[in-house]
């Protein structure tokens, strides 16, 4: 949970200082710290289930590790935010070891096996942003004294995986340096450039409003060597859009044909074991808030196949 005063970088945001956070870039973090601009919230039904699963995973950790676990979540669902300098943290629980004292315990859930295999390397290695989050939690400690250890727990498919960690002094030093830099940038109005990650798209649309007649001229590639790569990206985007639209038209056409065939039946059985099942459901209406949108129209001359230079 972020610092509501925006005076510190939270443990969950620290990885954005190094641009290794899948939900937040350094530019987005700068905009939030300086202007309070909300960034897209990655919460969805799986995130909600992760919160619901938290008490169970913490109980499992206590039983598996045979250590005392003290959950930090309050009855109202919030977690206390603890600050140490420019870094702050909430954590799921403290874990108490007779020999090492208190440590940070953070638990996660992977409901999609593909996420478990791709992001968590099949339970072998946590994602960088989760590793960084735990290190920041350990660094903050109780606000006065850092913790000497921590545990990252993962639930997937009714099985728990644990990653015990010690402090990484070099990373803690880098966190302090980068946190000081971003607050110094804020104080001196040095806004970083957007990283170019898709997660920034919604905020870019909100922040940058198109000015009629304003032009970026990069047509002379001698002055802008990277312009040819960008031009190839535009050509590729145009091609991908045309392919997507073509596939969508094919899908819609086949769906219409199948609906006409199925009528009020539920199931259509076809050769080679192919089955089509029809399901009906009521669609609820939702009120849409006003928002800014941006469309990108592109033109690629006929015959242009590849703009890369080798």
Q: Do 111 and 19 share a structural domain?
A: yes
Q: Do 35 and 175 share a structural domain?
A: yes
Q: Examine residue 195 and state whether it is found in any structural domain, yes or no.
A: no
Instruction: Tell me the backbone φ, ψ of residue 22, rounded to 5 degrees.
Output: -70, -15
The count of structural domains within the chain is 2
Tens digits of per-residue pLDDT, 126-185? 999 999 999 999 999 999 999 999 999 999 999 999 999 999 999 999 999 999 999 999
Q: Do 135 and 20 share a structural domain?
A: yes
> Does 285 score more than 60 pLDDT?
no
Residue 107 token pair? 């638990």
- Give pTM, 2 decimals: 0.76
Contact present, 6 and 32 (Cβ < 8 Å): yes
Residue 191 token pair? 């806004």
> Does 102 score more than 60 pLDDT?
yes
Q: Do 164 and 91 share a structural domain?
A: yes
Residues 6+ apart with CB under 8 A from 28: 16, 39, 199, 200, 203
Give the pLDDT mean for 16-34.
Answer: 94
* Cβ density class 62-90: b for 16+ within 10 Å, e for less: beebebebebbbeeeeeeebbebebbbbb
* Cβ density class 143-157: b for 16+ within 10 Å, e for less: eeeebebbbbbbbbe
What residues pair up with 269 in beta bridges, in sequence order? 275
Q: Which domain holds residue 110?
A: 9-187
Q: What's CA 51's distance to the chain center, in Å?
A: 17
Q: Do 147 and 87 share a structural domain?
A: yes
Q: Do 149 and 28 share a structural domain?
A: yes
Q: Examine residue 87 and state whether it is found in any structural domain, yes or no.
A: yes
Q: Do 221 and 104 share a structural domain?
A: no
Pick the last residue of a domain from 144, 168, 187. Answer: 187
Q: At what angle do helices 169-187 and 26-35 cross, to 10 degrees?
A: 50
């Amino acid at each position: 949970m972020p610092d509501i005063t925006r005076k510190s970088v939270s443990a969950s945001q620290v990885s954005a200082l190094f641009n290794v956070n899948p939900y937040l870039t350094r530019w987005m973090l700068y905009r939030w710290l300086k202007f309070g601009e909300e960034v897209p919230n990655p919460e969805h039904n799986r995130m909600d289930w992760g919160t619901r699963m938290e008490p169970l995973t913490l109980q499992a950790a206590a039983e598996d590790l045979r250590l005392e676990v003290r959950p930090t979540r309050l009855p109202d669902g919030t977690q206390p935010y603890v600050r140490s300098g420019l870094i702050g943290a909430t954590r799921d629980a403290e874990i108490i070891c007779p020999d090492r004292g208190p440590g940070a315990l953070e638990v996660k859930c992977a409901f999609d096996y593909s996420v478990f295999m791709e992001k968590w390397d099949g339970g072998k290695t946590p994602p960088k942003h989760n590793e960084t989050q735990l290190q920041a939690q350990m660094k903050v400690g109780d606000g006065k004294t850092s913790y000497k250890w921590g545990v990252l727990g993962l639930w997937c498919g009714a099985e728990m995986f644990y990653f015990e960690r010690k402090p990484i002094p070099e990373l803690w030093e880098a966190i302090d340096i980068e946190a000081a830099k971003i607050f110094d940038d804020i104080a001196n109005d040095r806004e970083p450039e957007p990283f170019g990650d898709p997660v920034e798209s919604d905020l870019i649309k909100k922040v940058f409003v198109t000015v009629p007649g304003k032009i970026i001229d990069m047509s002379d590639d001698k002055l802008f060597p990277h312009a040819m790569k960008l031009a190839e990206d535009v050509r590729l985007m145009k091609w991908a859009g045309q392919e997507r639209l073509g596939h969508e038209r094919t899908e819609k056409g086949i769906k219409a044909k199948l609906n006409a065939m199925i009528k009020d039946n539920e199931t259509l059985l076809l050769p080679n074991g192919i089955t089509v099942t029809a399901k009906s459901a009521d669609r609820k209406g939702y009120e849409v808030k006003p928002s800014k949108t941006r469309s990108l129209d592109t033109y690629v001359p006929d015959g242009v196949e590849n703009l890369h230079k080798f």
